[in-house]
Structure 1
Amino acid sequence: MPRERLREAGPAALSDLELVALLLGSGLPGHNVFDVARALLDHFKSLRAMLDAPPEEFESVRGIGPAKAAILMAVVELARRALAEQLEEKPLVDSPGAVEDYLRLMIGSRSQEVFVCLFLDVRHRLIRYEEIARGSLTHMAVYPREIVRRALMLNAASLIVAHNHPSGAVQPSASDRRLTRVLRDTLALVEVRLVDHMIIGARETFSFARHGLD
């Protein structure tokens, strides 16, 4: 059983199926918990898609009611909060992997484009995460003046901005590059540094900082 294997070998030794079964706890009459866990994985095709799903989509899978859906949603929220705590405790420039993991959890699987800011203090620790703009599958309006205003209100010394590409492709467009330049130059006028602009997909990310922030 997964619980015994977890105690003996640790969670990394369990398969995706076993971990999901352990979370669900029980199955249905005539269908054990592994049948329900397998139905979930087959329905969503990936763990990430499953954990990002809205409650009503969980409940479309036989054997998943409100209680089990709540457990699955709580797991990803715990992961988000744990990563946010990590970002608040240490300089983000020292934890690029944690930043990418956090952003993938927050916006990587969103079905619409979202633009977010991570406002940082003088030690590059997270002050606040904010969603600045939301768009359609293909268009989103971002206003640099509003970002500057929020940075000044929060007394931020620098910030990381990010947006997702619902298509999954993370290569920047011409408009992404133009926005990065405008943000960098506009923030510099008030002595706030743009540390990075990240494009987030469900599985990949693109960092302008790693490519010269240009």
Structure 2
Amino acid sequence: MLEAACAKPERRGEETLKGAVLAAPAARRPRTSAVDAAARYRGMPRERLRAFGPGALSNVELLALLLGAGLPGHDVFDVARSLLEHFGSLRVMLNAQREEFDGLRGIGDAKGAKLLAVFELARRALAEQLDDKPLVDTPGAVEDYLRLQIGARPYEVFVCLYLDIRHRLIRAEESSRGSLTRMVVYPREIVRRALMLNAASLIVAHNHPSGAVQPSASDRRLTRVLRETLTLVEVQLIDHLVIGARDTYSFARNDWN
């Protein structure tokens, strides 16, 4: 009898407790913490990448996955967003130099090194597309490569792609570097380098930091002098490209005008 009498109140207590929980107002029920919600939010891009591929993610999400961690009070998405806003575009950020990451919020030495490594891998991947292929057959790949290399530079750069007799790349070199509006190019040095590399032809390119790709009078004069000088040593100038952040001007496609 004693055992049965003691057991009965316990069951009533359990039932009473369950009823109290079910009857509790919604405001008093356990709620998901902000930390848990943020953790699920951070995990979403990774899950979507696995399910649908990287193309389903935004620039901020891709950059956040690369950075990995944020700052106290600022999650990694805030850091990624501010980084993109600082540079203005992915193209500009891909061309950033190491010192341009110094002092940026959430980007220390480790994250800066990781970003620079990824950007260099992207450039090398584009360069590999040019290897062992006639460059005259892949003008799109050449322009993509040059646009990534020099399209977003804040100063003018002159690049030479030296080719063999089958129009395959021997060497890509930066031959001159100038200011925002002025650069000096020496055709004699380009010819000397072409002979040294035993190049049969070459493609030259330079960027316009302003973004406008219409060639200037000095661009046209340089192109004419370079063509004539290279012809004297039987080296063909295949094209001179003016590279902007988005557009490209080809002297060859415009009848060298």
The TM-score by the shorter chain falls in which range?
Answer: over 0.9
Aligned to 1:197: 240
Q: TM-score, normalised by structure 2?
A: 0.80
Deviation at 1:94, TM superposition (A): 1.1
Aligned to 2:200: 157
* Structure 2: distance between partners of 1:60 and 1:179: 40
Does the 8 Å contact 2:143/2:248 carry over to 1?
Answer: yes
For residues 29-60 of structure 1, what are the alpha-carbon distances to aligned partners after superposition, in whole Å with 9 as ceiling and x for unaligned? Answer: 22111111111112111111222223333233
Q: Describe the SS at the equivalent of 2:170.
A: strand
Deviation at 1:61, TM superposition (A): 2.2
Q: TM-score, normalised by structure 1?
A: 0.95
Does the 8 Å contact 1:122/1:157 carry over to 2?
Answer: yes
Structure 1 portions without partners, runs of 5+: none
* Structure 1: distance between partners of 2:51 and 2:253: 41
Aligned to 1:82: 125
Q: Name segments (4+ residues, structure 1) moved above 4 Å.
A: none
Q: Describe the SS at the equivalent of 1:115.
A: strand
Matched, 1:44 2:87: yes
Deviation at 1:141, TM superposition (A): 1.5
Aligned to 1:143: 186
TM alignment of 1:108-147, pairs within 5 A: 108-147=151-190
Aligned to 1:4: 47
The AA in structure 2 aligned to 1:50 is: M
Q: Describe the SS at the equivalent of 2:129.
A: helix
For residues 2-52 of structure 1, what are the alpha-carbon distances to aligned partners after superposition, in whole Å with 9 as ceiling and x for unaligned? Answer: 222111111111111111111111111221111111111121111112222
The counterpart of 1:91, out of the listed 110, 134, 139, is 134
Higher relative contact order (CA 8 A, sep 6+): 1
Matched, 1:206 2:249: yes
The counterpart of 2:148, out of the listed 79, 92, 105, is 105
TM alignment of 1:6-21, pairs within 5 A: 6-21=49-64
Does the 8 Å contact 2:92/2:153 carry over to 1?
Answer: no
For residues 113-140 of structure 1, what are the alpha-carbon distances to aligned partners after superposition, in whole Å with 9 as ceiling and x for unaligned? Answer: 1111000011111100111111122221
Does the 8 Å contact 1:55/1:66 carry over to 2?
Answer: no
Count matched residues: 214
Deviation at 1:90, TM superposition (A): 0.8
Deviation at 1:154, TM superposition (A): 0.4
Does the 8 Å contact 2:211/2:245 carry over to 1?
Answer: yes
The AA in structure 1 aligned to 2:70 is: G
Does the 8 Å contact 2:167/2:201 carry over to 1?
Answer: yes
* Structure 1: distance between partners of 2:178 and 2:55: 38
Matched, 1:170 2:213: yes
Deviation at 1:170, TM superposition (A): 0.8
